[in-house]
Amino acid sequence: MKKSLLWCAVALFSFSTVAVTPQPFLNTQVQFNQNQQQADILVILVPENITDLNVAKWGKATRSQINRAIEVAEFTGKSGTKLEVVAPIGLDFGRVLLLGVGDPAELSRAKAEELGATMSAHVNATKAKKVQVNSQLISDTALNTTISAALAHGMELRNYRFDRFKSKPKPRPEQQYSLQVADVKATEARYQQLHALAQGVFTARELANLPGSSGYPEVFANYAREVLEPLGVKVTILMPEQVKALGMGSLYGVSQGSANKSYLLIAHWQGAAGEPIALVGKGNSYDTGGYNLKTSSSSIIRMHTDKAGAAAVVGAVQALAGQKAAVNVVAVAPLSINLISRDALLPGDVVTAGDGSTIEVGNTDAEGRLILADGIWYAREHLNARVIVDIATLTGSKVGALGTAYSAVFTQDSNIEQTLRQAGEQVQERIWPLPLTGYGDVTKSRIADRINTGSPGAQAGALFLQHFAADTPWAHIDMAGDSFSATAKGIHPEGSNGYGVRLLTEWVQLYQQQAK
């Protein structure tokens, strides 16, 4: 009787409770023009310390009312500040929102995107359906272009919703945004690049948000294929039997206790010649901890987000393909689900990785490095990657060291570190280097070549993974704690936020440029 009940429990994980297929993420529309359009709300981008706000075609009464409101509210145009005037005199708009941009020359891309999110949150609190954004007070054409495109990008990122499991989902924002800009063609071109990036972020959010029984390896792989192939990305999916036949026992072992075995997803965008840049993402679709069971209910309920690394590399390749980027990049996503059954890995078991290394499983809850080991090896051995960056929600000790303001990067390649840090600053997905040297052979096992535990935890995880990169230039990003937003803030809605997509997309292009 006990045996049959256990089998029924395991079998529950062999199907999805909801059909999981790609769906539109936004109902908002964006267009750029040089003329003011009729709308419910007018948003004016206001540089700092403008003492007399005078917008073209405003009458004396309108100008007087707006400037009086500015004076009373002590609105300075400092970046991020806002002032709303309801029922403005002499205008057909129901509301005028003044949005401070500070000094346009000092406004970073990330800050402009945050302004877009601020605008979006404000508009969503009204009943406005048509939104007119006026940027004419930013007189420099180049700045006008970059700020306006980034503003639209930030609005889109904030407006994402994960609602596929709601029986009665809250209506998504359906506004039409019309941005009055100095150079329509240039702004539209820049926006389309950012819009492709947003689509990659949305895919990553969607994949990471999927519950464990709805986003297991097969579903994840097929979802990625549906999204990527129409963009010209070559997608290869290695089934569990192929994973096992290739000797990737480290990856296969993590899911051996589940009815849904491990997969390996390879997504290749070949926008340039030469050897590919490889992005390897941890795709553990749900993590119970295995027999080293997670005991905290507050942490285990979020373990569907343990696939955020794989979601990030898929999203980055989608973004680069959507941008038609001149890069040769491949995403490798080892996909697993870490469950308990009569067939699951036991603490102390030994598995053999694709490179032939034997690994003692010191802790079944340190499964991320087990699946990444074979993913990194596959990128090196079968894809001949010229550089490998892996990304994962790997260790709690990373959160203890850096919190969530930074992700940790481990590498002995100064160029990779420098370009990753530069990319992270650009998109505000910051990284901070932690050392690899000085810890000895902390992953040495008594009974096998290596053990998947060690102290300190973040360093032990990185040192374990470094072995499988061998001589290939490599970096490991530990983003534990960074990929989930408990509340909506800035460009991120509540839930999985797509962390890593913007970082990796920016980094791949930066690294490619420096390699020329």
Q: What is the pLDDT of residues 454-477, one digit of tens each?
A: 999 999 999 999 999 999 999 999
pLDDT of residue 3: 41
Q: What digits encode the pLDDT tens for the residues 183-223?
A: 999 999 999 999 999 999 999 999 999 999 999 999 999 99
Contact 311, 207 (CB under 8 A): yes
Q: Is the peptide bond before 334 cis (omega within 30 degrees of 0)?
A: no
- Give the CA-trace dihedral at 60, 63, 68, 74, to 10 degrees: -160
Q: Is pLDDT at 12 greater than 70 in this prediction?
A: no
Asked whether the beta carbons of 149 and 195 are under 8 A apart, the reply is no
What are 235-246's pLDDT values in tens digits? 999 999 999 999
How far from 408 is each of 224, 325, 390, CA to CA, in Å?
27, 27, 12
> Structure pTM?
0.94
- Whole-number pLDDT of residue 401: 95
- Coil, helix or strand for 41? strand
* pLDDT at 365 exceeding the cut of 50: yes
Does position 516 have pLDDT exceeding 80, yes or no? no
pLDDT of residue 1 exceeding 80, the answer is no
CB contact set of 113 (below 8 Å; sequence gap of 6+)? 150, 151, 153, 154, 157, 491
State how beta strands 358-360 and 450-451 pair: parallel
Are 201 and 185 a contacting pair, CB within 8 Å?
A: no
With beta carbons less than 8 A apart as the criterion, state whether 58 and 113 touch. no
CA-to-CA separations, 403 to 59, 95, 320, 350, 430, in angstroms, rounded:
52, 40, 29, 33, 12
129 part of the active site = no
503: its two tokens: 């970082």
Higher per-residue pLDDT: 174 or 416: 416
Residue 164, pLDDT score: 87
Percentage of the residues of the chain whose pLDDT score is greater than 90: 88
Report how far residue 147's alpha carbon sits from residue 133's, in angstroms, rounded to the nearest whole number.
12
- Tell me if 126 sits within 8 A of 95, measured CB to CB: yes
What is residue 229's DSSP assignment? G
Selected residue with higher pLDDT from 252 and 52: 252
Contact 187, 228 (CB under 8 A): no
DSSP, collapsed to helix, strand or coil, labels residue 332 as: strand
At 139-183, the pLDDT tens digits run: 999 999 999 999 999 999 999 989 888 888 877 788 999 999 999
pLDDT value for 24: 78
pLDDT greater than 80 at residue 233: yes
Q: Please give the mean pLDDT across all residues of the chain.
A: 94
**Catalytic one among 130, 294, 324, 489?**
294
Our answer to whether residue 369 is catalytic in this structure is yes
What residues form DSSP beta bridges with 238? 264
pLDDT given for residue 18 in this prediction: 53
Look at 297-301, 321-325, 487-491 and tell me which has the smallest mean pLDDT.
297-301
Tell me what the mean pLDDT of segment 313-328 comes to: 98
Of 10-24, 53-67, 319-333, which range is least confident?
10-24
On the CB side of 459, CA atoms within 13 Å amount to 15
Q: Is the pLDDT of residue 115 over 70?
A: yes
- pLDDT of residue 31 exceeding 80: yes
Please state, in angstroms and rounded to a whole number, the distance separating the CA atoms of residues 283 and 307.
4
Cβ-proximal residues to 214 (8 Å cutoff; 6+ apart), any chain: 16, 17, 18, 20
345, 364 Cβ separation under 8 angstroms? yes
In the chain, the percentage of residues whose pLDDT exceeds 70 is: 96
Q: What are phi and psi for residue 85, nearest 5 degrees? A: -115, 120
Q: Sort 327 into a burial class: Cβ within 10 Å, 0-12 / 13-18 / 19+.
A: buried
Q: How far apart are CA 236 and CA 378, in angstroms?
A: 13
Is residue 4 pLDDT above 70, yes or no?
Answer: no
Using CA atoms, how far residue 350 sits from 9, 48, 57, 311, in Å, is: 26, 63, 76, 28
Catalytic residue among 109, 205, 282, 369: 369
